[in-house]
Structure 1
Amino acid sequence: MATTAIDRTRRMLSLVTYLRERQGARVDEVARAFGVSEEELISDLGVLPMCGTSFRGGDLLDIDTDGEHIWWHNANAVADGTGQPLRLAADEATALLVAARAVATLPGLRDDDRDALLRATAKLEAAAGENAVASARLNVTFEAEGGVFAEVNRAINERRRLLIRYYSPGRDQLTDREVDPIRLFTVGHTYVEAWCRRSEARRTFRLDRVARIELLDVPADPPPLEPRDLSEGLVQPAPTDPEVVIEVGPGGRWVAEYYPHEEARELPDGGLRITLRTSDPATLRRLALRLGGDGRIVAPRELADSARDAARAALAEYERAPEP
């Protein structure tokens, strides 16, 4: 399975935390822990020293290896900020203030954590001066708003079952399900992992696709399950899943960065021929519609025909729509 830039970035961020706690770690053990070859790990270690804690490259990570062990020479200074006093430029202060205000609005945040965050934000606003005024014009919201995150979090804490009405984009339908929530996590979006009583299997639900949620007076009783390893991303196709081939032009090359795939072969026009596997090929119809003229499904033929039919139906709706 080819590794995307998103996968590699996620792995390298985890690698920083992992190495800080394991001074002198063995290369083979770290590679095994992250499920990569030693060559891939050494390649990552070659990139990390070009990263730092400042948007402008200050405090670069001082990490090196002799091929057998890995050392991080300034781990403590980078982590606790003792390397040098914190100085924020205007764009850095703005980004930090916007993020802090957004996080403070998250439902489910403990009151003492929210109070501490608001106090820190107030101090930063005072130090930022006019930059704080500029940041106040920006606003960020999270998909987990609207009570869904809070209800799921409460259900997990109280070990209670949930009734949800969930939208499945691949099937374009709403279904009612009783689920026993297991944990909340974020991989790009916020999800709840739960035992679905309708399918009698572990399922993952994206919070912004929950149309309705109700906390039931029924104890949650999921079977004992090992937590899924999400280090390689949420979608991890199996070798037995159906194969899909997609061809994209230069404007659709982003597909290879966002979809786990087995192969991405260069095409003469600057595009890619991407081979991937998915347990539910029908979900890729929406990708085909999104790509428009920048890509098409090549195989399997039934899926390609289905995508063309969906595109024709969409165009027909536009033709029937009254003129504005």
Structure 2
Amino acid sequence: MAERPAPPKAQDKLAFLLALVPYLIDQVRVTVDEAAKHFGTTADEMRKAVMLIAMSGTPGADGTYTHETLFDIDWDDFDERGIIRFRAAPMEDKPRFSSREAAALLAGLQRVAARPEFAARVDIVELMAKLARGATGTPTPLAVRAGELASIQATLVEAVSTWRRVRIDYVTTRGERQVREVDPMSFDGVDDAWYLRGWCLTRDAERTFLLDRMASIELLGDAETHETESSTDDLFAGASGDERVTLCMPVAALPLIADYRGPDDPLSIEGERATVTLRIAHSGLLGRIAARLAGAVEIVEPASARAAVADWARAALAADDAV
């Protein structure tokens, strides 16, 4: 004789009903069998749950329940065709995301979904669709990263996890196209960008490469081990031969350049102002730092760094005027 499953506990029943109500509202129209399959239960149990919901609702201002404060099921659809559809659901005051909040959450989910290890996660796509439908307004259309970079990203993840050397076709911040062979160390995301940190065999030094500037990538043989001057957490720490640039900024802004600072970079604080010297591999990093600090940073020295940031700002203004 088959063993009968233990009856669900009260808290399990409550959790089931709390999940079922928003599901039915979100689906608008769903069959009993489809709902039962979604929750891993039987059609009979689903029918009992719907009948219970139909006797539930929210009390009115005087604390009593009326037909206007109860869930109203389309009983013809339910009894004759096995379809669950609410004609009224007393949840008009339920919290909803604003269109801006939904857009921010969707941006984060797009970034997660772009990772190769999450490519097959159907639930992320379903959640993104629910967020878009559940907002108070239509979220602003957005894209976190270009789809054509997905294969390059996947190759980089494989290279780091399997310790393989890569050959990348790379466009530098000066607009020069170069082929570099790199032994990967890490592949990390900062803000809305992804970076490969590794030992560049072409330059015989540790370098950081922006994913968006990679035109193509090729896996080579096994990578070698190299002695580095920075820890695995110092994504933008430069090499000893890099240019040293001194910046002055508010102390409160120091966390914004934490990714660019090495453990031995000089730092002095006077009152609410901080002076820090960074090792900068190329002038393109100065533009990113200036963008992060939104006008709060002063380039103290050298003069070439001040000129590089001024050129970056002029180029950005010219690009904005051309739009």
TM-score of the two chains, using structure 1 as the length reference: 0.47
Relative contact order (alpha carbons < 8 A, sep ≥ 6): 1 or 2 greater?
1
Normalization by structure 2: what TM-score? 0.47
